[in-house]
Structure 1
């Protein structure tokens, strides 16, 4: 249901744990961070990935990430519909699956290279340079009006929330590959 301005939802822990979609969308609470919820969500995703390495194979991770992206379109779209906001900052599922995508391609690597991947991803996700910003603006400019959204509109909104983070992951991986090539060429060990 779309919220009107006088019905604005103030998400908190009690609100978040009422449904699985809210809990996932808010990164098990990391999206409730009063400061930089996207960064908090990405840090949580990093920790979850490192723990998951002991439990899952690479193939399992690809299934989790792929399913997380597809399911995330509904999760992010549905929760943003509940909040009445197109891309609420506390919805961090998009950062989580996108950063898992980065990690699945860069791991195993040293902690320093993981930190570089984290910084690059946060830069591209927060600053949204070039095509990432164009994608983000495109989806934020789509107006669904005040009527309740259809399932297709909810999925499309969720896709819009996730796709700019996937673009940030793509550019992170490009720059990361260049950094790895340069450090190997120079004989540096990071």
Structure 2
């Protein structure tokens, strides 16, 4: 994977797409990006449900631009250091999360599992959709999958 120069963080577009620097870690940048998204999720939880949804939709749309621009500069379609998609995917996974640390850990773990595993149709979209949308869409779907599993487990348990 191509190394990302830390100077890129001086540009607000890259600062966000690289997860405030969390994507610069040499190993597991997606996991570090996911962890970096958690404090922002705590803030999002303070919003009414409709505002939470609006913020996540806005972050998704902004992410299409941010991730696409950083990918162009790096010359790599979906560089591992681009982690804004992990931020948005996690916020989807943790939407309406039941109270308790166990649910938070489960939501994060399921999101990472689906993001890495890429079950159908995530893998297909990841391969066929390019640009900023292509970078964002697989994590958004992984977030939806994790959300559905967490909600189903909460109902069943």
Q: TM-score scaled to structure 1, two decimals?
A: 0.76
Residue aligning to 1:174: 148
Tell me if 1:26 matches 2:29. Answer: no
Q: What is the correspondence of 1:85-124 to structure 2 with a 5 Å cutoff? A: 85-106=76-97, 108-124=98-114
Residue aligning to 1:38: 30
Alpha-carbon separation, structure 2, partners of 1:58 and 1:178:
19
Listed one character per residue, the Cα deviations across residues 17-42 of structure 1 (whole Å, up to 9, x for unaligned) are: 22100000000011111111111111
Runs of 4 or more consecutive aligned structure 1 residues displaced over 6 Å after TM superposition: none
Alpha-carbon separation, structure 2, partners of 1:168 and 1:53:
20
In the alignment, is the contact (CA less than 8 A) between 2:125 and 2:137 conserved in 1?
yes
Q: How far does residue 176 in structure 1 lie from its aligned partner after superposition?
A: 1.3
In the alignment, is the contact (CA less than 8 A) between 2:91 and 2:143 conserved in 1?
no
Cα separation, partners in 2 of 1:180 and 1:52, compared to 1, 3 Å: closer
Residue aligning to 1:127: 117
Alpha-carbon separation, structure 2, partners of 1:131 and 1:9:
28
In the alignment, is the contact (CA less than 8 A) between 2:18 and 2:81 conserved in 1?
yes
In the alignment, is the contact (CA less than 8 A) between 2:93 and 2:145 conserved in 1?
no
For residue 10 of structure 2, give the secondary structure of its aligned residue in structure 1. Answer: coil
Structure exhibiting the larger radius of gyration computed from Cα positions:
1
- CA-based RMSD of the aligned residues comes to 1.8
Alpha-carbon separation, structure 2, partners of 1:9 and 1:43:
22
Tell me if 1:83 matches 2:66. Answer: no
Q: How far does residue 178 in structure 1 lie from its aligned partner after superposition?
A: 2.0
Unpaired stretches in structure 2, ≥5 consecutive residues: none
Tell me if 1:12 matches 2:9. Answer: no
Q: TM-score scaled to structure 2, two decimals?
A: 0.91
Listed one character per residue, the Cα deviations across residues 138-188 of structure 1 (whole Å, up to 9, x for unaligned) are: 126xxxxxxxxxxxxxxxx101100111110111122112211221xxxxx
**Number of aligned residue pairs:** 157
